[in-house]
Amino acid sequence: MNLALVFLIIIINNLRLFAKGTEDANAAAGLGASFIFGDSLVDAGNNNYLPTLSRANIPPNGIDFKPSGGNPTGRYTNGRTIGDIVGEELGQPHYAVPFLAPNSTGKVILHGVNYASGGGGIMNATGRIFINRLSIEIQVDYFNITRKQIEQLLGEKQARDYIMRKSIFSVTIGSNDFLNNYLLPVLSIGARVSQTPDSFINDLITHLKAQLTRLYQLDARKFIVGNVGPIGCIPYQKTINRLNEDECVALPNKLANQYNERLKGLIAELNKNLPGATFVHANVYDLVMEIITNYEKYGFTTASRACCGNGGQFAGIIPCGPQSSMCSDRDKHVFWDPYHPSEAANIIVAKQLVDGDTKYISPMNLRQLRDLGL
Ligand SMILES: *[C@@H]1O[C@H](CO)[C@@H](O)[C@H](O)[C@H]1NC(C)=O
Ligand SMILES: *[C@@H]1O[C@H](CO)[C@@H](O)[C@H](O)[C@H]1NC(C)=O
Ligand SMILES: *[C@@H]1O[C@H](CO)[C@@H](O)[C@H](O)[C@H]1NC(C)=O
């Protein structure tokens, strides 16, 4: 072989190695994967594959979601969810893929999997009115499957290291345990028939603790757990209770606060008792309440009217769908539909979680959590 050619081959190979080195360095700098557990606030399409009444794969949901060209994807908002935006901000190469999507196989799972399900809750019975949804327990069962797939892709030791150090586990759940369980009218299937708030909330905390502990047993170490937002201020609650613009329904907010107090205790306890784990607490309640109370400061024109929906003074009764009326200024509404924030509101929340201070995210923010132990 001609000597020049040999040199050329050596140079090309070195260039390749160099390129691969920078790729690895980029991967080391950003977040490896996010594994997303939760409800419709972060569902990225799982319910599309379930026989369920809780669905968002109908227009105009997703109208501002660029990767789909504005087509619905199963996200319960006009654009990106908080989970999508957080992943982007932390340098994840693509959004976590829905576990139930048939093409969520092979290497794509290495950048994260989303198990969240509209209507899902901490308790198995939550969301029964939708016929089907994934409760947190089933979501953790599914992660156990993903865990084995990652092992097959990376090998046992590398998989463990990747999950422990390069992955963030986010848990956004609890709203449905109140809205679609405890607070349902007595004649239906809500737990209120038989339980005091204290006893119900105690069950929630016990069950959530068991599921977070299971994730830890599967090598999860970096967690973010959100508390329940001001569910008494969503257009649905305000509409059915015939409130004024600046009022919120007392009971749902009271229950949320009661649960949130217990959740804070649980997170402190897990930080103390599970060696090597870091649980970050996201104070979604105070953050969303701040946006609702001072909506004008954040560039919104309303924090009470749903952009997409119908019925009552806040368009808060009938969920968003092709027959709904839709506002023209979507990023001027805190709420996209009767239940869910708009992308504009999600962006504000996500940025606080990633780079905010301990008022809303403690003991550290997600950028610090990502870089922990690297
Ligand atoms: C899976 O299929 C959906 C729907 O066709 C598509 O939008 C998505 O990009 C695909 N995902 C992957 C990881 O290929
Ligand atoms: C919840 O559902 C799962 C999956 O169907 C089941 O294995 C589990 O026993 C149930 N838990 C409770 C507390 O009912
Ligand atoms: C994960 O699945 C295996 C069976 O494949 C089971 O033995 C193990 O208990 C499961 N782990 C958790 C935490 O559920």
Work out which ligand 3 atom sits closest to the CA atom of 217: 13
The DSSP secondary-structure symbol of 128 reads: G
Work out how many domains the chain is built from and give that number.
1
For residue 362, list its beta bridge partners.
281
Name the residue of 132, 137, 139, 206 to mutate for ligand 2: max ligand atoms within 8 A of Cβ: 137
From residue 153, give the alpha-carbon distance in Å to each of 78, 115, 144, 148, 159.
Answer: 34, 20, 15, 9, 8
Closest to 225 (Cα-Cα) out of 215, 236, 237, 235: 215
User: pLDDT digits over 260-310, tens only?
Assistant: 999 999 999 999 999 999 999 999 999 999 999 999 999 999 999 999 999
Position 158 in a domain = yes
Closest to 35 (Cα-Cα) out of 168, 182, 220, 162: 168
| Both structure tokens of 252 | 């749902």
Nearest CA to ligand 2 atom 2: 124
Name the residue of 50, 115, 124, 200 to mutate for ligand 2: max ligand atoms within 8 A of Cβ: 124
- The whole-model pTM stands at 0.91
Q: Which is it for strands 278-282 and 361-362: parallel, antiparallel or unpaired?
A: antiparallel
| Both structure tokens of 168 | 């963030």
Torsions phi, psi for 159 (to 5 deg)? -60, -45
Other C-beta atoms within 10 Å of 79: how many? Answer: 22
The DSSP secondary-structure symbol of 316 reads: -
Position 212 in a domain = yes
Name the residue of 92, 99, 103 to mutate for ligand 1: max ligand atoms within 8 A of Cβ: 103
Q: How far is the CA of 142 from the centre of ligand 1 (A)?
A: 19
Work out which ligand 3 atom sits closest to the CA atom of 144: 1
CATH of the domain at 366: 3.40.50.1110
Rounded Cα distance between 307 and 338, Å, is 8
Residue type, 47: N
Which numbered ligand comes closest to the C-alpha of 107? 1
**Beta strands of 261-365 (E only): which ranges?**
278-282, 308-309, 325-326, 361-362
Rounded Cα distance between 295 and 300, Å, is 5
Question: Tens-of-pLDDT digits for all 374 residues of the chain?
Answer: 454 544 444 444 444 444 433 434 444 457 899 999 999 999 999 999 999 999 999 999 999 999 999 999 999 999 999 999 999 999 999 999 999 999 999 999 999 999 999 999 999 999 988 989 999 999 999 999 999 999 999 999 999 999 999 999 999 999 999 999 999 876 455 667 778 999 999 999 999 999 999 999 999 999 999 999 999 999 999 999 999 999 999 999 999 999 999 999 999 999 999 999 999 999 999 999 999 999 999 999 999 999 999 998 898 888 999 999 999 999 999 999 999 999 999 999 999 999 999 999 999 999 999 999 87
Position 246 in a domain = yes
Position 12 in a domain = no
pLDDT reported for residue 11:
42
Nearest CA to ligand 3 atom 10: 144
* DSSP state letters, 34-95: EEEEESTTT-SSGGGGS--S----STTTTTT-GGGTT---S-SSSS--HHHHHHHHTT-SSP
The residue behind tokens 């769908």 is: 321
- Exposure on the CB side of residue 357, measured as CA atoms within 13 A: 1
**Beta strands of the chain (E only): which ranges?**
33-38, 97-98, 112-114, 167-172, 222-226, 278-282, 308-309, 325-326, 361-362
178: which residues sit within 8 A by CB, 6+ positions away? Answer: 228, 231, 252, 255, 256, 259
Torsions phi, psi for 33 (to 5 deg)? -145, 150
Give the chain's largest Cα–Cα span: 87
**Beta strands of 95-163 (E only): which ranges?**
97-98, 112-114
Position 4 in a domain = no
pLDDT reported for residue 261:
98
Dihedral of the CA atoms 83, 169, 285, 297 (nearest 10)?
A: -40
pLDDT reported for residue 26:
40
Residues with CB under 6 Å of ligand 3 are: 144, 214, 217-218
User: pLDDT digits over 100-144, tens only?
Assistant: 999 999 999 999 999 999 999 999 999 988 989 999 999 999 999
255: which residues sit within 8 A by CB, 6+ positions away? Answer: 178, 182, 183, 197, 201
Q: How far is the CA of 358 from the centre of ligand 2 (A)?
A: 35
pLDDT reported for residue 188:
53
Position 17 in a domain = no
Residues with CB under 6 Å of ligand 1 are: 97, 101, 103, 108
User: Which residues have a catalytic role annotated?
Assistant: 40, 337, 340
Burial of 27 (0-12, 13-18, 19+ CB in 10 A): middle
Closest to 56 (Cα-Cα) out of 309, 228, 227: 309
Residues with CB under 6 Å of ligand 2 are: 124, 137-138
**What domain range includes position 255?**
30-371
How wide is the angle at C-alpha 298 spanned by C-alphas 91 and 40, nearest 5°?
55
Position 366 in a domain = yes
Position 283 in a domain = yes
